[in-house]
Amino acid sequence: MKLDRKFFERDTLIVAKELLGKILVRNKNNEIIKCRIVETEAYIGPIDKACHAYGGKKTDRVKPLYGKAAVAYVYFIYGLYHCINITTGQEGSPECVLIRAVEPIQGIDYMSLNRYNEPYDKINRYKRKNLCNGPSKMTMACNITKEDNWVDLTESEDLYIENDESKFNIIEAKRIGIDYAEEAKDFLWRFYIEGNQYISKK
């Protein structure tokens, strides 16, 4: 069952934790990819110096963050790679959850072709481990691009998240790559499934 908007309208930290284990579904060029979300990060604009909309910043880039919950916020990093976040909380408050890493379940050959231009059975162990264990790696594998910015995950049939009731332990840790964010760099707002081989970093 597809997650509805009420799921995403809740407290961002709760959503970030409860997205773990859920299934990200991507339908692109009649190829269906399904992945288990294994690592997330929360961003809460009003109090978070690591958030693109900290201090009420409003630019064209961050407009999705101020909209309704369950909308994709896709942006470039280093001018090369995409990251996907999902808006959370209430409209007008810039909050979101970054999908950091996923575990491939279906469409693995297609994911491997997207990442390496090789089918999965032709890539080595290192490439398999690194197929989707990071925010830009997973968007490349899932063929998520800037075109998916503003997509409503409750209405789209091409990009959405399905419920799953898997059980596991959740680890809370510091977020990655935000050393500039002063006190916010120490917030334990990264969450991942303990022991999963596809997380980006323990």
109-121 pLDDT per residue, tens: 999 999 999 999 9
Predicted TM-score (pTM) of the model is 0.96
Residue type for position 64: P
State pLDDT tens for residues 56-86.
999 999 999 999 999 999 998 877 789 999 9
Give CA–CA dist 84/82, Å, rounded: 7
Give CA–CA dist 196/74, Å, rounded: 25
Give CA–CA dist 41/16, Å, rounded: 6
Which domains does the chain possess?
5-193 (3.10.300.10)
Two structure tokens written together for 57: 């910043």
Select from 124, 9, 108 the least CA-distant residue to 67. Answer: 9
